[in-house]
Amino acid sequence: MMSALLKGALLSLLLIASARADVVVIVNLLGPDYLSEIQVSKLYLGKSKHLPGQGKAYIIDMVDDSDIKREFHQKVTHKNTSQLQAYWSRLIFTGKGKPPHTVRTPELILSLVSNNENAIGYIDESLVNDSVKIAYRP
């Protein structure tokens, strides 16, 4: 009985710890040291095409059904999934924009950003390693 209680308490602590991790915006080690919310929002909404001091940005987004994508866009672009789809549909239809590249895993974002000096992506802070740097914390 005591063992079951300890296991339950440990599981609860792990769930709380994992739920507290925050999304962060990452760039290549050669990328900018800091980005503002407005800069990140403009990049992810296609209103800006370049990272400050860099070439054309390679913007990486998660697929539509991911929790981290919902959290990121809620905090940075202030749009939910439906609003994002409508936004990009309008821009694509009018020929005024192209949505960011999408990937299925945060590990792929980490790899793409670490290997491309103009790349920008977002991942859970717990996954950040020394191959990238954090440029913005929503």
Q: Express each pLDDT in 16-71 by its tens digit.
A: 444 557 999 999 999 999 999 999 999 999 999 999 988 899 999 999 888 999 99
Q: Which residues contact 51 (CB under 8 A, 6 or more apart)?
A: 27, 31, 32, 35, 43, 57, 118, 120
pLDDT at position 64 is 83
pLDDT greater than 60 at residue 123: yes
- DSSP at 126: G
More confident residue, 4 or 98: 98
pLDDT at position 65 is 82
Q: Which residues contact 8 (CB under 8 A, 6 or more apart)?
A: none
pLDDT greater than 90 at residue 3: no
What is the C-alpha separation between 77 and 138, in angstroms, rounded?
A: 10
pTM: predicted TM-score of the whole model, two decimal places: 0.83
